[in-house]
Each structure stands twice: as structure tokens, then as C-alpha cells.
Homo-oligomer: A and B are copies of this chain.
Amino acid sequence: MGDIDNRIAKLGINLPDAQAPIANYVPSVRTGNLVYLSGLGPAARQDGSVPNGKLGLDLNTEQGYEAARLVGINILARIKESVGGDFSKVKRIVKILSMVNSTADFTDHPQVANGCSDLMVEVFGNNGKHARSAVGMANLPGNIPVEIEAIVEVSS
């Protein structure tokens, strides 16, 4: 078990199976040294429940942060899948687009998105520090609170 796997285990995270796409696309595509991950929603909590709903209506900022962290867990699972199980091939989390299911009045997208961004830095250290946008969507598939897509640089 590598360093990154150890760090994930120490955070008390059990990586789920990589979430399967829910439509006609693939989990990730590699071109050159970049892996493009399809947008992901939150993983289930330990008790099997999954956060759902809109920020500013059904969920507050703190609940949104938790949801974004659960998206981050799905991202970790999919990154691991994309590098054949070997996290040491991850060179950098390059870019994240954090899309938050928001009312017209909700404006705390950065605080929500930090749930995923913090996890990337906890797990990958400096290599987890990424460029990012965090923005509010009219809605998301199945009314999930957060969907995040990522670009990851991997070793050749």
C-alpha cells in the first residue's frame, strides 16, 4: 500500500468502487499526460445515505461542504482507477470545476467547493493544489448538491 493509500486510510476514508457513468460516456479519458475525469456527484456516507438537494434551499453551506468532500472521495476512487490502482503515478491535480446546485441567491460556492479542495490537499499535499472555479448551477443531474470535474496530470 502506497503513501497516498495510507493517507486516505488515515483520514478514515474507504474508497468506494469508482462511480459508473450514468449515461453514454466514459469515466475518464487520457490524452498525453492529462486525464480528464467526467463530472462526479457525492459518494455515499458510511451509513449509505447520500446528500441531495439545492444549496440555499435544502442544504446550508456546511452541508454543502460535506457533500463536496463526498464528491472528492468519488474523485479519489476514479483517479485510482485511471492510474491502474497506483496513486504514485499522480503528478498533480491540475484543475477543478466545482459546480454547486444553487438558488438564485446562494453565493457561498467557494466555501462549499473547499470540501473537495481541502481533501485533495490533505491527500496529495502540494501536488493536490489546483486551479479552480466554483460556481452556481440552476440544477444538477438528480438534484445532487455538487458536481465536480477534474483534470489530473499523471506520469508517462
Number of copies: 3
Stretch at the interface among A1-9, A10-18, A42-50, A134-142: A134-142
CA distance A133 to B135 in the complex (A): 14
Residues of chain A at interface, number, CB under 8 A: 58
Contacts of A95-146 to chain B: CB distance below 8 A? 95-97, 99, 102-111, 113-114, 117-118, 121, 129-143
Asked if A32 lies at the interface with its beta carbon under 8 angstroms from chain B, I say yes
Do A104 and B103 form a contact, CB below 8 Å, given A129-B26, A131-B29, A133-B39?
yes
Are the CB atoms of B141 and A25 closer together than 8 Å?
A: no
Residues of A that sit less than 8 Å from B by CB: 21-29, 31-34, 36-39, 54, 92, 94-97, 99, 102-111, 113-114, 117-118, 121, 129-143, 147, 149, 151, 153
> Which 8 residue pairs of A and B lie closest in terms of their CB atoms, listed nearest first?
A39-B133, A25-B132, A136-B139, A23-B110, A136-B138, A36-B131, A24-B117, A38-B131
Q: A23-B111, A104-B104, A105-B139 are in contact. List 17 more A-B contacts (CB 8 A).
A: A23-B113, A24-B114, A24-B121, A25-B117, A25-B130, A26-B131, A28-B131, A29-B92, A29-B131, A38-B132, A54-B104, A97-B149, A99-B133, A106-B139, A109-B140, A135-B147, A136-B139
